[in-house]
Structure 1
Amino acid sequence: MAGDRVLWLLSDGAPGHWSQSQGIADALAATEPVDIQRINLTVRSTFWKRLGRLSMPWIRNSRWWLAKVYNIRLPASTPSLIISSGGNTLLANALLARLFNAPNVYSGTLKGYDASAYRVIFTVVSQKLSNNCILPLPPVPQAISSVPDIAGDATPCVAVLIGGDGAGYRYTAADWRNLAQWLVALAASREARILLTTSRRTGAAAEAILQAELPVDLLADAVWWLQDPRPVVRSFLQRATSVVVTEDSLTMIAESIYSRREVLTWAPEQVAPNTNDAQALANYAADGLIFRSHMGAEINLLARDAKIAHCPDVPGMIRAALQPHLNLGEL
């Protein structure tokens, strides 16, 4: 609409990256009229992208570089703010900010890009940069951060969000069997049933093991993603009193924390997260936002009547960080 702030959200197609960008946009939308426009992009040339990263301080013809590096179609509008997350969007974010003389923000680590090309850099671990806003949790969409109070099934439920190989985590068949046995014991200790969903990265072999190991009557609902995908995370979180989430997905962990439920994370035997992810997990645990577990760990990490975890006001922190660059209304 006329008079709305036009927010360009650059998307590389990764759901986790889009979630963070949408979270920043939704933080602004809570207090400001905005027009959110999604711009999809793919990398045309990794060689020119690498060269662009090295040459970025000296680039003058932004439009030429955009065409050389990306497949991208720009809308007719002029952006009030450019937002992105994900390494493949970093160069486009900086080039578009120069081309349109617009403020820009990025959520995530910079992967060698020049920090001065971005107005604000949101991370959950300090990058020791003057324009780095350190958040206690990554941004997520408003629909995730505003999960209603527990719906209250007749029987308590534990939501189980399962990822797969990636981010330095590698699962074996033994890991999946151990996870299933751990979940059975956890549910018994809580006198609860399980709401389980796998994901695109879980894989057919893992799904087959979990289906074989988990008693059918223990499952209040189950989504086997490769067989019949359904977007159920928000509804499962609403119904659950506790959440179990595999540590390979910081996005799923953040979404679980935002639900203000008790959050238990689980890791396989072989783990090698990068320094940033490892520090983020350590921070969440130190702040009491998650309770970490692994093969052989004690089941009763918390009593069944444990208080729901607190949740920091991340949208408010985002608005405060953007205030100097956008002249926002009263915060």
Structure 2
Amino acid sequence: MATRAHSPLGGADRGCRCNRSCRVRSIAPARPHVRQRPSAEEVKDALVVWRLLDGKPGHEKQSLGLLQGLAALAPVAAYELDMRSKSMFWGEILRHVRGEALLPPPHLIVGVGHATHLPMLAARAACGGRTVVLMKPSLPLSLFDLIFVPRHDHYPRKGNVVGTWGVICPTTDEGKVPNEGLVLIGGPNRTYDWQPEAVADAVRAIADASPEIRWTACDSRRTPTGLAERVTPRKNLVWQSWRKAPQDFLQAALARASYVWVTADSVSMLYEALSARARVGIIAMPTRRPDAASKYARGIEALRERRHVLGSEDGYRIQDSRLSDFRPENRRCAEIVLERLVQPV
């Protein structure tokens, strides 16, 4: 089946996307195993997106971020296809070939992670649509219609490859609490010389520098045990262990927090905090190879040069710093998708 490049929005609506109803009609109205066709009303005038999932929460956040950006520009009907259910996915592809499909043919096929790459190409060949990959794919770049790759990764400057500031994340700029802050703590990795006592000192310094702010320090799966005990209790500081946190704790906390500090090793958390429209600081750490800056260290330095973040070397009063606004990438990337892949030529 040939790849489609027409717009689901219709010719008269091309110039007024932002005035349309901005919503995702349903993130997952029908998985492949649901034996029910979507109604014609459900997909009428909507941008039909097949969202291929590999079961990894970080990857799902990225594709959700792009969907959110698209939904701010046009009505979207999105359908999840879980690659862990291979028989269900390939069954849906076969039903399309036979003309018995349960899902509407896609305008866009979005995937993150190696497990989604080959199925994306198969879905395009059988069902039409255009492919959008987030992160560098494992297959040749020329096979995909559009690829978004973080700038800190090494990637070729090709026409179908677009660099992004970090990974694409969902955004929110509502419900900010003026005097609420987060400290997000990662753990040892191959890039940074992770020193627990230095991290504990930084957490104490953040709380002491801003006694008017209620800080919540959050560890993660990578955080060495015993770090919480190294931080002397403060009236304006509480500790939240990931083991005891509700599943949606971090998402809700980022939506509320006006200020967020992130350890330098936590690159994904850094961009989630920026996308949440918080004022962001980075707890500096020495690299394992000072003579060879890593791609993550270069990315952080680029953010500092543009004054999107504050480094702990420059102090801990993040609320007094003059930081420039960081425009979340999901909206910009969504605009590129619509311009290049959806609008009729």
Q: Which category describes the TM-score, using the shorter chain as reference length?
A: 0.7 to 0.9
Instruction: Identify if the C-alpha distance between structure 1 residues 242 and 313 changes in structure 2 by more than 3 Å, giving closer, same or farther.
Output: closer
Separation (CA, whole Å) in 2 of partners of 1:230 and 1:263: 23
SS of residue paired to 2:83: strand
Q: What's the CA shift for 1:178? A: 1.8
Instruction: Identify if the C-alpha distance between structure 1 residues 313 and 157 changes in structure 2 by more than 3 Å, giving closer, same or farther.
Output: closer
Q: What's the CA shift for 1:79? A: 1.9
Q: What's the CA shift for 1:121? A: 0.7
Out of 194, 197, 202, the position equivalent to 2:218 is 197
Match of 2:306 in 1: 287
Out of 112, 121, 124, the position equivalent to 1:97 is 124
Q: Counterpart of 2:221 in structure 1: which amino acid?
A: R
- Per-residue CA shift, 1:121-172, capped at 9, x if unaligned? 112315311111223343212xxx12326423xxx4431112234464564x
Match of 1:20 in 2: 62
SS of residue paired to 2:197: helix
Match of 1:188 in 2: 208
Q: Counterpart of 2:303 in structure 1: which amino acid?
A: Y
Gaps of 5+ in 2: 1-41, 95-100
Separation (CA, whole Å) in 2 of partners of 1:108 and 1:26: 17
CA-atom RMSD in angstroms: 3.3
**1:1-331 superposed matches below 5 A:** 1-3=42-44, 4-42=46-84, 76-111=103-138, 113-125=139-151, 127-141=156-170, 145-148=171-174, 150-152=176-178, 156-166=179-189, 168-169=191-192, 171=194, 175-191=195-211, 192-202=213-223, 206=224, 208-218=225-235, 220-269=237-286, 271=288, 276-293=295-312, 297=313, 300=315, 304-307=319-322, 309-312=324-327, 314-322=329-337, 323-327=339-343
Q: Counterpart of 1:136 in structure 2: which amino acid?
A: W
Instruction: Identify if the C-alpha distance between structure 1 residues 303 and 314 changes in structure 2 by more than 3 Å, giving closer, same or farther.
Output: closer
Match of 1:50 in 2: none
SS of residue paired to 1:6: strand
Instruction: Identify if the C-alpha distance between structure 1 residues 269 and 240 changes in structure 2 by more than 3 Å, giving closer, same or farther.
Output: same
Instruction: Identify if the C-alpha distance between structure 1 residues 320 and 102 changes in structure 2 by more than 3 Å, giving closer, same or farther.
Output: same
Structure-1-length-normalised TM-score: 0.74
Q: What's the CA shift for 1:97? A: 2.1
SS of residue paired to 1:217: coil
Instruction: Identify if the C-alpha distance between structure 1 residues 127 and 229 changes in structure 2 by more than 3 Å, giving closer, same or farther.
Output: farther
Identity score, percent: 21
Q: Counterpart of 2:162 in structure 1: which amino acid?
A: C
Q: What's the CA shift for 1:212? A: 0.8
Q: CA contact under 8 A between 2:287 and 2:293: conserved in structure 1?
A: no
Instruction: Identify if the C-alpha distance between structure 1 residues 259 and 308 changes in structure 2 by more than 3 Å, giving closer, same or farther.
Output: farther
Q: CA contact under 8 A between 1:198 and 1:223: conserved in structure 2?
A: yes
Separation (CA, whole Å) in 2 of partners of 1:31 and 1:304: 32
Q: Counterpart of 1:314 in structure 2: which amino acid?
A: E
Q: Counterpart of 2:165 in structure 1: which amino acid?
A: P
